[in-house]
């Protein structure tokens, strides 16, 4: 099965701007890149992927992409969903059957969590992993032909679920703590710090 992984990333200078309340620019850039690197490490270690793509990015993130064997696909459209639809359209032309999409801001992501998604993807057509508040989508494994149903943004988990449900009943929801925490706000960052201090986070 041809499977390609995609990590969309808009670049360090426009990433995590809401953390500016608690971090200076250098700290925010370093934190953003460290999360992106964790995502790349996990995807590179998950195996069975025909290819890995960094969608968008800048020179900083593209240096990491080369380190972990990612191809670079520049943004061609406006907006995340439009760029992902373009990317999946191109991949479909190359015979890619399924696509694994994860964001680049999951600080607790591990190889094992992506292996779970890939494993479930052998049994189900669609695998969705929600965010901690069950509103966002932090992992998506779909047939490349389902690209028209991509709806990242506010309340994307339910919108994705209902859109894919119109196509198939073969859907798995993977609730995994390693994938559930994405960091956008100071509150989420402080919650991450408390988890790390407690050492209590498990998938």
Q: Per residue in 68-82, pLDDT tens?
A: 999 999 999 889 999
What does the pLDDT read at residue 189? 60
**Token reading at 148:** 């028209």
Select from 84, 157, 155, 103 the least CA-distant residue to 127.
Answer: 157
Q: How far apart are CA 96 and CA 3, in angstroms?
A: 6
- Report CA 38 to chain centroid distance, whole Å: 11
Asked if 61 and 68 count as a contact pair (C-beta separation under 8 A), the reply is no
Question: Is the pLDDT reported for residue 14 higher than 70?
Answer: no
Q: How far apart are CA 72 and CA 56, in angstroms?
A: 7
Asked if 119 and 47 count as a contact pair (C-beta separation under 8 A), the reply is no
Instruction: Tell me the domains of the chain and their CATH numbers.
Output: 3-198 (3.90.550.10)
Q: Which of 22-31, 49-58, 130-139 has the lowest mean pLDDT?
A: 22-31
Q: Model-level pTM?
A: 0.88
pLDDT digits (tens, 9 = 90+) for 91-127: 999 999 999 999 999 989 999 999 999 999 999 999 9
Compute φ and ψ for 195, nearest 5 degrees: -65, -45
The residue written with tokens 């494993």 in the block is: 119
pLDDT digits (tens, 9 = 90+) for 152-162: 999 999 999 99
Q: How far apart are CA 203 and CA 184, in angstroms?
A: 21
Higher local confidence (pLDDT), 133 or 8 = 8
């Amino acid at each position: 099965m041809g499977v390609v992984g995609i990590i969309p990333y808009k670049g360090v200078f426009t990433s995590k701007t809401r953390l500016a309340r608690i971090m200076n620019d250098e700290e925010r850039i370093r934190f953003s890149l460290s999360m992106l690197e964790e995502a790349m490490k996990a995807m590179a270690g998950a195996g069975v992927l025909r290819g890995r793509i960094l969608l968008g990015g800048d020179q900083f993130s593209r240096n990491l992409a080369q380190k972990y064997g990612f191809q670079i696909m520049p943004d061609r459209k406006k907006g995340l969903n439009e760029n992902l639809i373009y990317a999946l359209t191109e991949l479909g032309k190359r015979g890619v059957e399924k696509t694994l999409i994860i964001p680049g801001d999951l600080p607790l992501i591990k190889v094992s969590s992506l292996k779970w998604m890939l494993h479930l993807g052998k049994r189900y057509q669609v695998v969705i992993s929600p965010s901690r508040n069950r509103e966002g989508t932090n992992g998506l494994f779909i047939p490349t032909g389902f690209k028209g149903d991509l709806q990242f943004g506010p309340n994307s988990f339910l919108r994705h679920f209902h859109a894919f449900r119109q196509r198939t009943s073969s859907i798995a929801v993977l609730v995994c703590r390693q994938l559930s925490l994405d960091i956008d706000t100071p509150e989420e960052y402080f919650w991450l710090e408390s988890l790390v201090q407690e050492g209590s986070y498990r998938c």
